[in-house]
């Protein structure tokens, strides 16, 4: 823990940690020492981790990287962090992210963006660590912690993992409790680990997962020993390669990476099968209707009364002006855009045309996956991202939709509620890490991680 606290101090320029908790870390590390001496060392005993700012941590600022939650220190601890601490983990601090987890480059954060520790060739240009869990990815890649929590609503664990050469898994919807995690889009949100290796992810996921009566969508299923399922044996397994993920204009190096991944799994004894997921092209627009709709509802609670920031109001201003000013000051431009889009698609006149239509398409996207799994496919291999990490600031003047295109390979998995893992499998011609995604059957994270490990 001390070594990591020192490393964090020296790596302030990465802007990965936004709240430091050395006192908590030292107390937890001392408690871990005592448990180890007593011969009672659980899975993560003494392991230093970082926690995404989206998780409520008792008495510690938990701001979701938003100005509107400035000064908010929860009275309670999220279920995930409670379980991690129970398993002996040591919290070094809170990690940077996009505001309310909305973004793909960490540039919507009220703290300013985190930076990717990787550089392209000899270039000095700072690169994005991805988003929204960019601080988590940066911290793990820079060796500032051994693992970090992330959350993934449309790719926010897997895209930053791919951009930083780290491993990240979004579990099956319902595998990990959402209680105490600031809600973005509740039917899509899942927390998961971000680590250096697949094995570390298996261990950390085991500690995070499990039924929680405080989250009615968490599944009442036993959590298997994911680590024990990493046998390295995938002989005879059927790996689907969906033709719809071969996008027009996809960089050749992403295609090469994908082909190399296919060969690795074939060499390990898997049967490779060409499959079709016909509704893939509708996933991105469907996601960008459903996610803002749910966000606009979830974010209604930030009203200047219950949490964090409240605007100064003038003489004669009433409660409406207080709400308006607080929300105008407290939410950044991307969050405001999502609230507006979400409110629009849920409004009486447009509900059927947008929100209801998106829900129907979502069911078709899920059915595509159900059909290929029913036809004997065990897991699906795709690229994780359409490119490697891009330069910070390079999208500043772009249409917001350009940024949304980053999520093209990842949002399907959230819409269908499936587990998906990003694993680093190669480098681009500038030496930047690139990752592949493996998508698994519901509740089969162990088997999924076992396939992913064959790609490491
Ligand atoms: N980049 C996507 C978005 O902005 C995904 C975010 C996430 O998974 N939290 O909505």
CATH of the domain at 248: 3.90.1300.10
Say whether 132 is catalytic.
yes
Taking CA atoms only, the protein residue closest to ligand 1 atom 10 is: 102
For a pocket test of ligand 1, which of 97, 103, 408 has the largest count of ligand atoms closer than 8 A to its C-beta?
Answer: 103
Q: pLDDT confidence of 247, banded at 50, 70, 90?
A: confident
Mean pLDDT of 97-118: 98
Q: How far, in Å, from the CA of 128 to the mean position of ligand 1?
A: 15
Map residue 241 onto helix, strand or coil.
strand
| Ligand 1 neighbours by CB, cut-off 6 Å | 101-104, 132, 152-156, 184, 291, 407
Q: How far, in Å, from the CA of 155 to the mean position of ligand 1?
A: 6
Q: Cβ contacts of residue 361 below 8 Å, gap of 6+?
A: 279, 282, 286
For a pocket test of ligand 1, which of 97, 163, 292, 407 has the largest count of ligand atoms closer than 8 A to its C-beta?
Answer: 407
pTM beyond cutoff 0.90? yes
Strand order in the sheet with 379-383: 17-20, 90-95, 48-52, 147-152, 190-195, 167-170, 420-427, 433-440, 379-383, 238-242, 271-275
Q: How many domains does the chain have?
A: 1
Q: What is the pLDDT of residues 36-92, one digit of tens each?
A: 999 999 999 999 999 999 999 999 999 999 999 999 999 999 999 999 999 999 999
Quick one: what percent of the chain has pLDDT higher than 70? 100
For a pocket test of ligand 1, which of 104, 137, 192 has the largest count of ligand atoms closer than 8 A to its C-beta?
Answer: 104
Choice among 62, 78, 132, 138 that is catalytic: 132
Quick one: what percent of the chain has pLDDT higher than 90? 97
Say whether 78 is catalytic.
no
For 192, list phi and psi in degrees, rounded to 5: -160, 170
Q: Beta strands 48-52 and 90-95: pairing type?
A: parallel
Q: What share of the chain is helix, strand, coil (3-state, %, to 5)?
A: 40, 15, 45
Indicate whether this complex's ipTM tops 0.95: yes
SS (H, E, C) 117-145: CCCCCCCCCCECCCCCCHHHHHHHHCCCC
Q: What is the pLDDT of residues 176-196, one digit of tens each?
A: 999 999 999 999 999 999 999
CA distance 184 to 74: 17
Question: What's the mean per-residue pLDDT of the chain?
Answer: 97
Q: What is the pLDDT of residues 315-373, one digit of tens each?
A: 899 999 999 999 999 999 999 999 999 999 999 999 999 999 999 999 999 999 999 99
Which residues span the domain enclosing 262?
Answer: 1-456
């Amino acid at each position: 823990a001390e070594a990591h606290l020192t490393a964090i101090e020296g790596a302030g320029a990465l802007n990965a940690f936004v709240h430091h908790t050395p006192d908590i870390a030292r107390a937890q590390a001392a408690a871990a020492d005592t448990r180890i001496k007593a011969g009672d060392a659980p899975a993560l005993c003494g392991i230093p981790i970082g926690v995404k700012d989206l998780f409520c941590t008792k008495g510690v600022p938990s701001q979701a990287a938003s100005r509107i939650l400035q000064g908010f220190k929860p009275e309670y601890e999220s279920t995930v962090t409670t379980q991690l601490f129970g398993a002996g983990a040591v919290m070094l601090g809170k990690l940077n992210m996009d505001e309310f987890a909305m973004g793909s480059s960490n540039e919507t954060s009220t703290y300013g963006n985190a930076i990717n520790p990787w550089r392209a060739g000899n270039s000095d240009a700072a690169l994005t660590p991805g988003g929204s869990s960019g601080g988590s990815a940066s911290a793990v890649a820079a060796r500032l912690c051994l693992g970090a929590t992330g959350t993934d609503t449309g790719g926010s664990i897997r895209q930053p993992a791919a951009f930083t050469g780290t491993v990240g898994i979004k579990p099956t919807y319902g595998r990990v409790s959402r209680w105490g995690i600031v809600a973005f889009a509740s039917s899509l949100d899942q927390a998961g680990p971000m680590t250096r290796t697949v094995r570390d992810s298996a261990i950390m996921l085991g500690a995070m997962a499990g039924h929680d009566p405080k989250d009615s969508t968490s599944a009442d299923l036993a959590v298997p020993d994911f680590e024990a399922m990493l046998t390295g044996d995938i002989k005879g397994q059927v790996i689907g390669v969906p033709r719809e993920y071969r996008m027009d204009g996809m960089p050749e190096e992403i295609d090469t990476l994908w082909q190399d991944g296919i060969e690795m799994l074939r060499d390990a004894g898997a049967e490779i099968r060409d499959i079709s997921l016909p509704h893939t092209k509708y996933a991105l627009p469907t996601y960008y209707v459903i996610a803002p709709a749910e966000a606009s509802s979830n974010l209604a609670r930030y009203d200047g009364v219950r949490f964090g920031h409240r605007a100064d109001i003038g003489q004669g201003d009433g409660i409406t002006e207080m709400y308006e000013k607080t929300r105008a000051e407290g939410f950044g431009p991307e969050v405001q855009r999502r609230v507006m889009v979400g409110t629009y698609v849920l409004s009486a006149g447009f509900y059927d045309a947008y929100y209801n239509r998106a829900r129907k398409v979502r069911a078709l996207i899920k059915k595509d996956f159900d059909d290929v799994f029913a036809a004997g496919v065990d897991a699906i291999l795709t690229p994780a991202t359409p490119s490697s990490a891009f330069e910070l600031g390079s999208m500043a003047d772009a249409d917001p939709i350009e940024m949304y295109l980053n999520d093209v390979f990842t949002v399907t998995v959230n819409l269908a509620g499936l587990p998906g893992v990003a694993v680093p499998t190669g480098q681009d011609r500038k030496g930047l890490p690139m990752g592949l995604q493996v998508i698994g059957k519901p509740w089969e994270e162990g088997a999924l991680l076992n396939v992913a490990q064959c790609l490491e």
